[in-house]
């Protein structure tokens, strides 16, 4: 029982990181491979165009968010370049929030808020708790 008490922080970080990585990875995978990027762009394009948002911003934001979710989600699952992935996913949430806010000012944050809280949790935990990752194996602090 003592070994469990000794490592529960490490396991908590592992679970949070892999869970968050799965959420983002599968969302990005769905957008890139199932829904297709052109359909993601088309979903937002008319609403943004009517509000004066240039098409290149809609296309750029769609590419950035979809591929950031896919790639950074995978990086979090395996625990590689975690801080870079977390920073990019935080930026991803900001861009998505701006987009949803432009499209629908009173939008439901039930999908965004848990992800934001997990990103913040992973950014605040001590490095000593994050030892079950490729980052720790490759770049031992």
Q: Could you write out the DSSP letters of every residue in 7-73?
A: HHHHHHHHHHHHHHHHHHHHHHHIIIIII-HHHHHHHHHHHHHTTT--HHHHHHHHHHHHHHHHHHH
Q: Could you give the number of structural domains in the chain?
A: 1
Structure tokens at 44: 């937002």
pLDDT digits (tens, 9 = 90+) for 53-109: 999 999 999 999 999 999 999 999 999 999 999 999 999 999 999 998 888 878 888
**Burial of 15 per CB tally in 10 Å (0-12, 13-18, 19+):** exposed
> What is the structure's pLDDT at 103?
84
- What is the residue range of 122's domain? 2-138
Is the pLDDT reported for residue 1 higher than 70?
A: no
Structure tokens at 125: 């935990």
pLDDT digits (tens, 9 = 90+) for 91-101: 999 999 999 88
> What is the structure's pLDDT at 140?
82
pLDDT digits (tens, 9 = 90+) for 109-134: 888 999 999 999 999 999 999 999 99
pLDDT digits (tens, 9 = 90+) for 28-48: 999 999 999 999 999 999 889
Q: Which helix or strand (DSSP H or E) is residue 99 part of?
A: helix 82-103
Is the pLDDT reported for residue 21 higher than 80?
A: yes
């Amino acid at each position: 029982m003592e070994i469990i008490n000794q490592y529960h922080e490490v396991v908590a970080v592992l679970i949070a990181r892999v869970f968050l990585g799965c959420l983002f990875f599968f969302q990005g995978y769905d957008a890139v491979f199932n829904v297709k990027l052109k359909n993601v762009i088309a979903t937002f394009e008319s609403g943004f165009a009517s509000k004066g948002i240039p098409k290149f911003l809609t296309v750029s934001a769609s590419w950035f968010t979809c591929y950031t979710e896919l790639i950074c989600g995978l990086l979090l699952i395996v625990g590689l370049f975690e801080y870079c992935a977390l920073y990019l996913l935080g930026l991803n949430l900001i861009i998505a929030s701006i987009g949803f806010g432009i499209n629908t000012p009173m939008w439901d944050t039930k999908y965004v808020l848990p992800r934001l809280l997990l990103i913040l949790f992973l950014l605040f935990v001590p490095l000593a708790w994050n030892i079950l990752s490729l980052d720790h194996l490759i770049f031992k602090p």
